[in-house]
Amino acid sequence: MKIAIFGKRRQSAEDLPLISALFDLLSRRGVFTVVQRHFFDALAKDLGSAPPVDDVFEADDFSADIAMSLGGDGTFLRTARWVGAKEVPIVGINTGHLGFLAEESLRDAHEVVDNLLDGDYFTEERSLLEVRASGDGLRHLVSGWAYALNEVAILRRGNASMVSVHTFLDDIEIASYQGDGLIISTPTGSTAYNLSVGGPIVQPTAPCFVLSPIAPHALTMRPLVVSDSHEIKATVDSRVPTYRVTLDGRALILPTDVTLSVRRAPFVVKVLHRRGRTFVDTLSSKLLWGISKR
C-alpha cells in the first residue's frame, strides 16, 4: 500500500511524539510512504531528524492508494485541494480542534493503520462546489482551484454597509438576500460556517446545497435546501464597487459587475471511515448530539 501524507506545518509539542510514532509504525508495517515537501521539512525541523519515509513530493505531484491528512479540518480541506480530481480516498487524523472531517484521533493511529491495511474501512463520496465568474473568471484568481468542499461565501467588504445578493436557481430568481452576505454550502459544509449562522445540519451524502443568509436584514429570509442538480447564480449590489468571496476560507475580491455561477463539481472527494462509524456517531462525539443534560 502507498500512502501520501499531508499535514499542517505547526504541530503541538505534545503531538510530535505521536506523529513520530505513526511514521515509525507505517515503516514497520511496510507501507510505502510519501510526504508533501512543506510538511516533511517542517516535521524534520521539529523532530530534530527526518521521519522514515520513502519519498518526498512537491505540491500535488504524487500518486497513492490513500491520502492521509494530519491536522484539523483546515488541513483536510487543503489535502482535498491537493488531491483534486485524482479522487484518492482521504483519511483525516485530527491534531487540531473539533475535527468533523479529520475525525480520527491521533492517539488511535495504530488502529487506523491496522484498519487501512486490513481493508476494514468504507469510502464515502462528498460533493464539491465548482465556481465560475463572468469576465476574467474566478479560476485564474484562485490560482487554478475554483472548487470548495465546505462552502462558497459571498460577503460584504470589511466595514462596508450591507450587500444585496440577487440569487437565481437556474433561471428562476429565488430571493435578494440583504445583509452581510450569503453562504452556499455543500452537505459536508453544513457543520461549518453554515451551522454558525443557523443553517441546518445535512447528511454528508445528501444530493443538495444549502443557501444560508448571513445576518439578514429581513426576518423572512431563512436557510433554504435545494437539489444539487441546479446551477446557482448570484449578482451583488453594494454601496462600494467590490465584494468578497471565500472558497473554504480562501478569499478574493471581485467587482460588483461580476456574476458568480455555482454548481456541483464533476468529481468528488472520497473520505475514508472505519467500519461501523456513522455520521450520527460524529455528531454525538463532536456536538454532544442527542445527549440530555437533565
Residues that are catalytic: 73
Helix residue ranges per DSSP H, 102-180: 109-118, 138-141
C-alpha distances (whole Å) from 288 to each of 48, 246, 285, 291 are 39, 29, 6, 6
Q: What is the CA radius of gyration of the chain?
A: 20
How far apart CA 119 and CA 198 sit, in angstroms, is 38
The residue length of the chain stands at: 294
SS3 call for 152: strand
**Cβ atoms within 10 Å of 229's Cβ, excluding its own:** 11
Match 472548487 to its residue by C-alpha cell. Answer: 147
Enumerate helices (H) and strands (E) in the chain, giving the number of each.
7, 18
287-292, long-range: CB < 8 A, 24+ apart: 287/191
Burial code (b: 16+ CB inside 10 Å, e: under 16) for 239-266 equals eeeebbbbbbeeeeebebebbbebbbbe
Percentages (nearest 5) of helix, strand, coil residues in the chain:
25, 40, 40
With left for phi above 0 and alpha for psi between -120 and 50, is residue 248 left, alpha or beta? left
- What whole-number distance in Å separates Cα of residue 50 and Cα of residue 283? 37
Alpha helix positions (H), the chain: 16-28, 37-47, 73-83, 109-118, 138-141, 193-196, 279-287
